Structure 1
Amino acid sequence: MHPLFHYINQYAIISEEDFEDIQSYFIPKKIGKKQHLLKEGEICKCMGFIVKGAMRKYYTDEKGTEHIVNLYVENWWAGDRESFVMGTPSVYHIDACEDSELFLISRENTLILRNECPAFNELTLKLDEQSTISTQKRITSSISLTAEKRYEDFVNNHPYFVQRFPQHIIASYLGITKDTLSRVRKKMLRK
């Protein structure tokens, strides 16, 4: 069965018939490595459920430095929530770190499904809750934990990211330099 079907059923039980209807609101899309799902200045018209691949969301500061905001792999949603909901230009880029396959859903179709399908509405409510909790933890971590503890938490909470993303991307996601990450990793290996 389809990965999206299994994903939805983790949050709200649906029948295969209901899934057929839900799936009709999604559009499949393939994005090659280094290609963009979204560029700064564009409006995020769709959220993407990742079936295969890895992606990153980042912004570039005035000095040209990239700052990673989110990392995504299979069974994660990629997009700029603010731009998607508000219809405003995004300040972020989202690109593929690996060849990726997604199912895209528009804002209009999201609203239709939320109104017509209780299971989909339940899914979005639970995802909103998880997103808020995750964001709070990330903010707390970035302002109060050492680089070593941030990396340790990252490895414990997202071990699959370590194998999928290059060290410079992980360092940026953690808000530390590549050199600091290298020192932290060496120190952890000695323990």
Structure 2
Amino acid sequence: MFELLHKKINETIDITDQDFEHVKTLFIPKKLRKKRFLLQEGDPCVYTCFVERGLLRSFRIDEKGNEHILQFGMQGWWIADLYSFLTGVGSQYNIEALEESELLLITKPSWDTLLNEVPALERYFRILIQNNLIATQNRLMRNMTISAEERYTKLISEFPDISQRVPQHMIASYIGVTRETLSRLRSQISHQ
């Protein structure tokens, strides 16, 4: 179950087999069925999660009942409420499995142990957090400066199978439009 994690770490840093064997001892393998929650808003995020297989989403529901998707967690990605994970405060987000998923979970104490005992992983997580910050800033700027159609086509070009794996109302939420607007966009694009 740890093959993809090993591959992803090695794509970013070099890690010895001995160090990776130690890494494996600090993770908790978990299977999460579709529509089950890994985290619910208000609860502290006690795990950061590597997705070995499947698909999750991080989202929030506002006071009007509207859903806002912050992130999809695809195979080979990490997902958590990092602020809650690092501080122990209640989460602002829900994390739900959209598909049957196999996850590798690590607690904050185990994560701290990992960073202390395998220093190369401190570099690995720094690079991941940097890349996440850059991606988040780019997404925020796109949402403020490009049209909904451009946001949709960018998402589809980056993740071609997302429309087969994720319901359209969730794609609409992710790109910041209504379901009806997304339907019109898809119709316009198919006629071009």
User: How high is the TM-score relative to the length of structure 1?
Assistant: 0.96
Q: What's the counterpart of residue 72 of structure 1?
A: 73
Cα-Cα RMSD: 1.2
Off by >4 Å, runs of 4+ in structure 1:
none
Query: Aligned in 2, Cα 1:129/1:160: closer, same or farther, shift over 3 Å?
Result: farther
1:107 to 2:99 alignment: no
What is the CA-CA distance between 1:81 and the residue it aligns to?
0.6
Please give the residue correspondences for 1:165-176 in structure 2 after superposition, counting only pairs within 5 Å: 165-176=166-177
Letter of the 1:79 counterpart: A
1:66-124 deviations in Å (ceiling 9; x for gaps) = 11111111001111011001110011111101111100011111111112212211110
What is the CA-CA distance between 1:182 and the residue it aligns to?
1.4
Please give the residue correspondences for 1:142-161 in structure 2 after superposition, counting only pairs within 5 Å: 142-161=143-162
What is the rounded CA distance, in whole Å, between the counterparts of 2:127 and 2:160 in structure 1? Answer: 23
Letter of the 1:183 counterpart: R
Q: What's the counterpart of residue 180 of structure 2?
A: 179
Q: What's the counterpart of residue 12 of structure 2?
A: 11
What is the rounded CA distance, in whole Å, between the counterparts of 2:135 and 2:120 in structure 1? Answer: 22
Is there any run of 5+ residues in structure 1 with no aligned partner, and where? none
User: How high is the TM-score relative to the length of structure 2?
Assistant: 0.95
Q: Secondary structure at the match of 2:156?
A: helix
What is the CA-CA distance between 1:160 and the residue it aligns to?
3.5
What is the rounded CA distance, in whole Å, between the counterparts of 1:17 and 1:114 in structure 2? Answer: 15
1:120 to 2:121 alignment: yes
1:140-166 deviations in Å (ceiling 9; x for gaps) = 011111110111111122223233211
What is the rounded CA distance, in whole Å, between the counterparts of 1:161 and 1:121 in structure 2? Answer: 31
Q: What's the counterpart of residue 55 of structure 2?
A: 54
Identity of aligned residues (%): 40
